[in-house]
Structure 1
Amino acid sequence: MFLPLTSNAYIKRNISLGWPLALNALLMQSMLMIDTLLVSPLGEVSLAAMGIATTIVAFILGIQMALANGTQLVMSRAVGSGNSQKLANSFWSGMLINMLVAVFFWVMLTVLDGDIIQWLTDNANLYNEIAAYLNVAKYLVLFTAITQVITAMFNALGQSKIPFKSYLIELPINACASYILIYGVFDWHGLGVVGAAIGSVIAISLRMVFLTVCLKYKQGLDLSFNSKMALFINNIKLHFVEIFPVAANVTMLSIGATVYQLLYSQLSINAYAAITLLMPWIRGGTQFITSWAHASAITISQAIGSKKLDNLTQDVDISIIMAVVLSVCSCGLFWGLSFVIADIYPGLDPETYLALSAIAPLYILLPFIRGYNTVHGHILRALGKTTAVFKINFTGQWLISIPLCALLILYFDASLFWAFAVMPFEEAVKALPFRYLARKTLSEFDSQTADKLI
């Protein structure tokens, strides 16, 4: 059965928008991985300090990205409406909110860094190295606030290749600058862990300059601030109300993932090692599904902004079908990974390989269910149901799955298979509410609903 021409055009547009988003996410993840790789020869203390410090920074950057993603949906609707004033208001509202959040975290890392580090470790050597790294890395938070909102603007405009190019600039600069600053050059011995932080700040500041110049000279884009202050303040309030549940959702899921890791740490050392090895693959292996969901949300938001609602249900159906196809492909890749993972990580304890084999069916299946939920979540946010998405995720994770995981591990002393099975179980629990809410929202969505969102 052949798809209508309109569907083919929708798919091509989303793919064109989505593949740079996927590579952007992979490159962004690689930034902290590069620093960790470069620091590893300095020894266990430096590596442990780097791990703790980057966990703190990555948590903050995740919240900033979530805020920018919420702004991205608002700007996408403004792009669809063709109203330059709405687009400018959305951009400056998103920038102000993200900068205020960035300043808040910067102050936290400046004033309370000692308390935060002491809460995480009581090792004096670790304390000094973490403090030195965070004293520089906290400026990443300020630069990221700007780059994320500008990136969201280009994504909303359907020009995701420009942020992709900015990452291609940032990545080699970060690697080279960090290496020189960590290990030194000629007779200079370098700065150690602090050098990694400085290298990252240099790289992201240059990326910020590149994106700002691209935005300034973007033809046909007018971001002049011409709004009355009272109207702008009201716009900020409405903007925050919409994007806050997105940030809260990401924060909740991030904390939930950390709780899962803490619970899994109560299993045997081999079981925990197996899960630790798999987690980066699970995060990276689902990026293309997530990026397709992002692209779908942007395209649907643009359609809502332009009030072209005739094909809305059809576009949502196509988005879900393609997400399922990508999820099946991801499952196939994880199936292939199960055969070669022992070659990728040679020299491990035989019990660790047995643990990896035991949960292979689960991590192969996980992308399929998670991909289905991911696309529903992003589409529902585009339709204005950000709070409802948060409630479904909160219920599925915090009220059902995490208590179940704790019960299985801490009370029943369950095996690794049943403990890890809670993760796909969580996704299965959320699948039906997501589908029901999406169908209900689509059936009720009309031009009046679109007007309220705009």
Structure 2
Amino acid sequence: MLLHMISNDYIKRNLSLGWPLALNALLMQSMLMIDTLLVSPLGEVSLAAMGIATTIVSFILGIQMALANGTQLVMSRAVGSGSKVKLANAYWSGMLINLAVAILFWLLLIWLEQDLILWLTDNNTLYVEIGAYLDVAKYLVLFTAITQVITAMFNALGSSKIPFKSYLIELPINAFASYFLIHGVHEWQGLGVVGAAIGSVIAMTLRMLFLSVCLRYQQDLNLSFSSKLPAFISNIKLHFVEIFPVAANVTMLSIGATIYQLLYSQLSINAYAAITVLMPWIRGGTQFITSWAHASAITISQAIGSKKLDNLIDDVNISIKMAVVLSVISCGLFWGLSVVIADIYPGLNPETYLALAAIAPLYILLPFIRGYNTVHGHILRALGKTTAVFKINFTGQWLISIPLCGLLILYFDASIFWAFAVMPFEEAVKALPFRYLARKTLTEFDQQQAEKLI
């Protein structure tokens, strides 16, 4: 009876923490979709320029988010320990690391912007528009470094609703500001693609101010810097060693996803169009599973910080079972998508619909296997196994699945079914190592291991 009550409390706490995380991710993705929608009336050239420029910026922002997620685990342990000094050290270490990386990327965008654009396109019109967008959008990199770490702090404190509110402020401001700056008003013609970048910077700045004010007035939170410099430098080094594999993991997976897209572009135009249509749904449809995994990692990190390990194995088992339940629900939603996708995208070529039908069993199954791996990966990071998670992902994706996908498409001229099947196959390859490592780590995890992490 007591165990049942503890399980219910754990699930309620994680769901309360997880649903704002999921909506945060969906709202963040919708910002790019809104900007793309607003730019689309300007024509294909502006739309293509927007697509290329935002791909560059999104890649950098993804790395910053990964660093913040690593910091989030360290701060969660500090919250669990109840030590205000440890929490302040984790916050400032994470902030300095993220800002240093942001400044590095900002400088690279200044120095290498022209070479990068020339590498991506030889169209002079595109070159001008991409350059104009990046001249403004590069400031997003600096502001995001701050907002991501503050967001990680609120998540670690269990106050994930505050970042959610910040997105509710940012999204409409971004939409309205971008619309008027892109298209103008009355006799003013607007700024075109550059207007979308300025609108995003305005909205991000206001979000950063909102989060900073909320952090300033957060009850029972003291982030004043009190550590001696040598101790703080040592803390930064340890912090970086832990969070770097998280960022490397996300970067590796992002580059791998891009290579998948390049390989799929070698299929027929209808097959590639089918995969292009599906990808945003696949990314968005797994957000609730990912957010549950994030919430589980935060809760487990807090337990490690407080050295309350009695229910650790039970909590991990509950996290995995709930992830499976959410994955099954996600599979059901993807089955529903397969039924109505022709109504959502009317007017496509009949061969594109045939391609979508051919891979329907695969994209319906994909969330189940991916959800299982996602929760294991986040739990292992919470247990300090960030490097091991990187190795499993690297082996499954880069040493097995991407070469296999290239072989199937480029050498055997495989159909879309077998080409797309590599994605669920990659997740299946990683599932057993993830499970084995999680069980082994939990068996060996004790107070001494917790002390090392803290």
The answer to whether 1:309 aligns with 2:309 is yes
Give matches, 1:369-388, under 5 Å: 369-388=369-388
Give 1:188 deviation, angstroms.
1.1
Give 1:205 deviation, angstroms.
0.2
Q: Distance in 1 between matches of 2:278 and 2:32?
A: 18
Give the structure 2 partner of residue 16 of structure 1: 16
Give 1:34 deviation, angstroms.
1.1
Q: Distance in 1 between matches of 2:110 and 2:173?
A: 26
Give the structure 2 partner of residue 248 of structure 1: 248
1:205-250 CA deviation, whole Å, 9 max, x = no partner?
Answer: 0000000000001111000000000000000000000000000000
Give the structure 2 partner of residue 173 of structure 1: 173
Which 5+ residue runs of structure 2 have no aligned equivalent?
Answer: none
Give 1:33 deviation, angstroms.
1.2
Give 1:266 deviation, angstroms.
0.3
1:14-72 CA deviation, whole Å, 9 max, x = no partner?
Answer: 00000000000000111111111100000000000000000000000000000000000
The answer to whether 1:82 aligns with 2:82 is yes
The answer to whether 1:297 aligns with 2:259 is no
1:68-108 CA deviation, whole Å, 9 max, x = no partner?
Answer: 00000000000000000000000000000000000001001
Give the structure 2 partner of residue 435 of structure 1: 435
Which 5+ residue runs of structure 1 have no aligned equivalent?
Answer: none
The answer to whether 1:66 aligns with 2:62 is no
Give the structure 2 partner of residue 111 of structure 1: 111
Give the structure 1 partner of residue 403 of structure 2: 403
Give matches, 1:275-294, under 5 Å: 275-294=275-294
Q: Distance in 2 between matches of 1:32 and 1:228?
A: 42
Give the structure 2 partner of residue 49 of structure 1: 49
Give the structure 1 partner of residue 126 of structure 2: 126
Q: Distance in 1 between matches of 2:393 and 2:246?
A: 11
Give 1:122 deviation, angstroms.
0.3
TM-score, structure 2 length as denominator? 0.99
Give matches, 1:216-235, under 5 Å: 216-235=216-235
Q: Distance in 2 between matches of 1:81 and 1:277?
A: 46
Instruction: Name the aligned partner's letter for residue 446 of structure 1.
Output: D
1:248-307 CA deviation, whole Å, 9 max, x = no partner?
Answer: 000000000000000000000000000000000000000000000000000000000000
Give matches, 1:150-161, under 5 Å: 150-161=150-161
Give the structure 2 partner of residue 423 of structure 1: 423
Give 1:3 deviation, angstroms.
6.4
Give the structure 1 partner of residue 391 of structure 2: 391
Give 1:133 deviation, angstroms.
0.2
Q: Distance in 2 between matches of 1:87 and 1:34?
A: 36
SS for the counterpart of 1:4 is helix
Give the structure 1 partner of residue 412 of structure 2: 412
Give the structure 2 partner of residue 96 of structure 1: 96
Q: Distance in 2 between matches of 1:337 and 1:186?
A: 42
The 4+ residue runs of structure 1 with deviation greater than 3 A are: none
Q: Distance in 2 between matches of 1:100 and 1:35?
A: 28
The answer to whether 1:258 aligns with 2:228 is no
SS for the counterpart of 2:68 is helix
Instruction: Name the aligned partner's letter for residue 224 of structure 2.
Output: S
Seen in structure 2, the aligned counterparts of structure 1 residues 40 and 387 have a Cα distance that, compared at 3 Å, is same
Instruction: Name the aligned partner's letter for residue 206 of structure 2.
Output: L
The answer to whether 1:237 aligns with 2:241 is no
Q: Distance in 1 between matches of 2:215 and 2:2?
A: 40
Give the structure 2 partner of residue 205 of structure 1: 205
Q: Distance in 2 between matches of 1:3 and 1:168?
A: 38
Give the structure 2 partner of residue 274 of structure 1: 274
TM-score, structure 1 length as denominator? 0.99
Give 1:111 deviation, angstroms.
1.1
Q: Distance in 2 between matches of 1:235 and 1:314?
A: 31
SS for the counterpart of 1:220 is coil
Q: Distance in 2 between matches of 1:188 and 1:450?
A: 61
Instruction: Name the aligned partner's letter for residue 108 of structure 1.
Output: L
Instruction: Name the aligned partner's letter for residue 246 of structure 1.
Output: V
1:120-164 CA deviation, whole Å, 9 max, x = no partner?
Answer: 000000000000000000000000000000000000000000000
Instruction: Name the aligned partner's letter for residue 41 of structure 1.
Output: P
1:154-212 CA deviation, whole Å, 9 max, x = no partner?
Answer: 00000000000000000000000000100111221110000000000000000000000
Give the structure 1 partner of residue 361 of structure 2: 361
Give the structure 2 partner of residue 145 of structure 1: 145
Instruction: Name the aligned partner's letter for residue 165 of structure 1.
Output: K
Q: Distance in 2 between matches of 1:74 and 1:393?
A: 22
Instruction: Name the aligned partner's letter for residue 32 of structure 1.
Output: L
Instruction: Name the aligned partner's letter for residue 364 of structure 1.
Output: I
Give 1:2 deviation, angstroms.
11
Q: Distance in 1 between matches of 2:184 and 2:262?
A: 37
Q: Distance in 2 between matches of 1:99 and 1:368?
A: 36
Percent identical residues:
86
RMSD, aligned α-carbons: 0.8
Instruction: Name the aligned partner's letter for residue 77 of structure 2.
Output: R
Q: Distance in 2 between matches of 1:361 and 1:3?
A: 38
SS for the counterpart of 1:93 is helix
Q: Distance in 2 between matches of 1:337 and 1:325?
A: 19
Q: Distance in 2 between matches of 1:338 and 1:112?
A: 43
Moved more, 186-195 or 11-20: 186-195
Instruction: Name the aligned partner's letter for residue 340 of structure 2.
Output: V
Instruction: Name the aligned partner's letter for residue 315 of structure 2.
Output: D
Q: Distance in 2 between matches of 1:419 and 1:384?
A: 35
Q: Distance in 2 between matches of 1:50 and 1:328?
A: 36
Instruction: Name the aligned partner's letter for residue 349 of structure 1.
Output: N
Q: Distance in 2 between matches of 1:272 and 1:188?
A: 40
